[in-house]
């Protein structure tokens, strides 16, 4: 899952990004509306966590820009104003959900995951492929009923491969969806993480590699 956090308070943006990355999400940050608009043109996001009072382009205007597109991310609007009138006003701008500051971080995570599941193109929460069952909300993954002990990145990588199955994903695709905009495209991070994930999944192998194409999940029983 890829998230854009748009928040002009840099310390809060950094805390939110770090916490969401710990939950296995790929997170980019923008501190003003203009930068956010540029990132939205370049990248595909599942959810935008959008502060309402932004410099450059106001959060209300940016929200209207986002929701004016057919294939768009879901928008969770944040604001220091939490009255019912403020909430209604925010939702009328096209936001999909609204959260007043201060808020509890676990609630933010739950709302983001709920919004991602509501996207028109979203798939079912639990994924079952090749004897592997993965539930991102409970953060559990099993193979043939046996619990897998995965790191945050290994879990996110497995989820991305499972949801794309049986299609291939290139290393560049995985960098964009599992890491973030700061990932070095020339790094071997993907290959190293794939290697660790293969070992933890055990045999028979389910992650196939085709040089020059990428990686995909295969079912050994097929």
Q: Which pLDDT does position 81 carry in this prediction?
A: 62
Over range 91-104, report the average pLDDT.
83
> What are phi and psi for residue 66, nearest 5 degrees?
-65, -50
83: pLDDT strictly greater than 60 = no
Domain ranges of the chain: 2-118, 127-217
128, 164 contact by CB (below 8 A): no
Tell me what pLDDT residue 199 has: 96
CA atoms of 30 and 39, how far apart (whole Å): 8
- pLDDT surpasses 70 at 122: no
Residue in 127, 123, 130 with CA at minimum distance from that of residue 139: 127
DSSP-assigned states of every residue in 123-160 = PPSSEEETTEEEETTTTEEEETTEEP---HHHHHHHHH
Contact predicate 132/141, CB 8 Å: yes
**pLDDT over 70 at 210, yes or no:** yes
Helices (H), 43-149: 59-67, 84-92, 105-118
Q: Predicted confidence band at 82 (pLDDT cuts at 50, 70, 90)?
A: low
* More confident: 92 or 54: 54
pLDDT tens string 8-56 = 999 999 999 999 999 989 999 999 999 999 999 888 899 999 998 899 9
Structure confidence at residue 181 (pLDDT):
74
Taking domain 2-118, whether its CATH number is 3.40.50.2300 is answered by yes
Q: How confident is the model at residue 183 (pLDDT cuts 50, 70, 90)?
A: confident
pLDDT at position 159 is 93
CATH for 127-217, options being 1.10.10.10, 1.25.40.10, 1.10.240.10, 1.10.1040.10: 1.10.10.10
**CB atoms closer than 10 angstroms to residue 2:** 21
Q: What was the pLDDT predicted at 123?
A: 62
Query: Per DSSP, what are the bridge partners of residue 173?
Result: none
111: nearest Cα among 100, 120, 121: 100
- Supply the pTM of this predicted model: 0.69
The predicted pLDDT at position 187 comes to 77
* β-bridge mates for residue 28, sequence order: 4
Residue 200: predicted pLDDT: 95
- What is residue 107's predicted lDDT score, i.e. its pLDDT? 95
Q: What is the pLDDT of residue 89?
A: 60
Mean pLDDT of all residues belonging to the chain: 88
Residue 205, pLDDT score: 92
């Amino acid at each position: 899952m890829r998230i854009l956090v748009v928040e002009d308070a840099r310390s809060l943006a950094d805390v939110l990004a770090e916490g969401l990355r710990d939950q296995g999400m790929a997170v980019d940050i923008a501190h003003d509306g203009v930068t956010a608009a540029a990132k939205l043109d370049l990248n595909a996001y599942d959810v935008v966590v959008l502060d309402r009072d932004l410099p450059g382009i106001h959060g209300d205007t940016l929200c209207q820009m986002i929701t004016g597109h057919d294939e768009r991310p879901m928008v969770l609007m944040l604001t220091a104003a939490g009255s019912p009138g403020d909430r209604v006003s925010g939702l009328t701008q096209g936001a999909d959900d609204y959260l007043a500051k201060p808020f509890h971080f676990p609630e933010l995570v739950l709302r983001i995951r709920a919004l991602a599941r509501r996207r028109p193109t979203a798939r079912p929460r639990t994924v079952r492929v090749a004897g592997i069952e993965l539930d991102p909300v409970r953060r559990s993954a099993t193979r043939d009923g046996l619990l897998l002990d995965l790191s945050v990145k290994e879990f996110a990588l497995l989820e991305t491969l499972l949801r794309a199955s049986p299609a291939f994903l290139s290393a560049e695709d995985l960098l964009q969806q599992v890491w973030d905009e700061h990932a070095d495209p020339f790094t071997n991070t993907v290959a190293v993480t794939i290697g660790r994930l293969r070992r933890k999944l055990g045999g028979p192998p389910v992650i196939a590699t085709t040089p020059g194409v990428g990686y995909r999940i295969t079912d050994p029983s097929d």
